[in-house]
Amino acid sequence: MTALPSLSEVEKELDESGQSAWKRLLDAEKLAITPSASALVATVAEYNNLLVGARVVGFFILDFKKHSRSISFAERAHRKLVQQVHSCWTPTSAEEGECLKNLIDLGTQLQNHLIRACMLRVLLSRDPV
């Protein structure tokens, strides 16, 4: 999967809150790439989920913002997703690992929703046997 673009590449597209969320996603991606990330998770699958989770959330944020003028719900979806990224780092989350796990969970939820939507579309488009 492609790495997230740097902040300088996307800062013109994002508002202040979006830029702040982007910095957190870049930090999570950077941490996921380092050897110390394996200490945060128990399995290789969880390690991959950390990296994929940050990237999926990031690319959704960019995509929603990019289409916010042409698709009616995209701006609201963009704002909601940025808010959800910020909520991963709640004041009660003292540990960075806990915050990253929250981000993994958010990315996993987005992946699962996308897969379900795609599968539903495939199933509905099939001719009955």
The pLDDT score that the predictor gives to residue 4 is 93
Q: Is the pTM of this model over 0.85?
A: no
- Positive or negative, the Cα torsion across 18, 83, 45, 93? positive
Among 12-16, 17-21, 113-117, 124-128, the least confident range: 124-128
Across the chain, how many H-helices and E-strands are there? Answer: 5, 0
Percent over 90 (pLDDT), the chain: 31
- More confident site: 83 or 93: 83
Percent over 70 (pLDDT), the chain: 83
Token pair for residue 58? 């990031």
The DSSP output letter for 43 is S
The pLDDT score that the predictor gives to residue 119 is 83
The pLDDT score that the predictor gives to residue 103 is 83
Span 72-92, pLDDT tens digits: 888 899 999 999 999 888 766
Confidence of residue 93 (pLDDT cuts 50, 70, 90): low
pLDDT for 2 beyond 90: no
Rounded to whole angstroms, how far apart are CA atoms 75 and 80? Answer: 9
- More confident site: 101 or 92: 101
Domain boundaries, the chain: 7-125
pLDDT for 6 beyond 60: yes
Rounded to whole angstroms, how far apart are CA atoms 25 and 56? Answer: 10
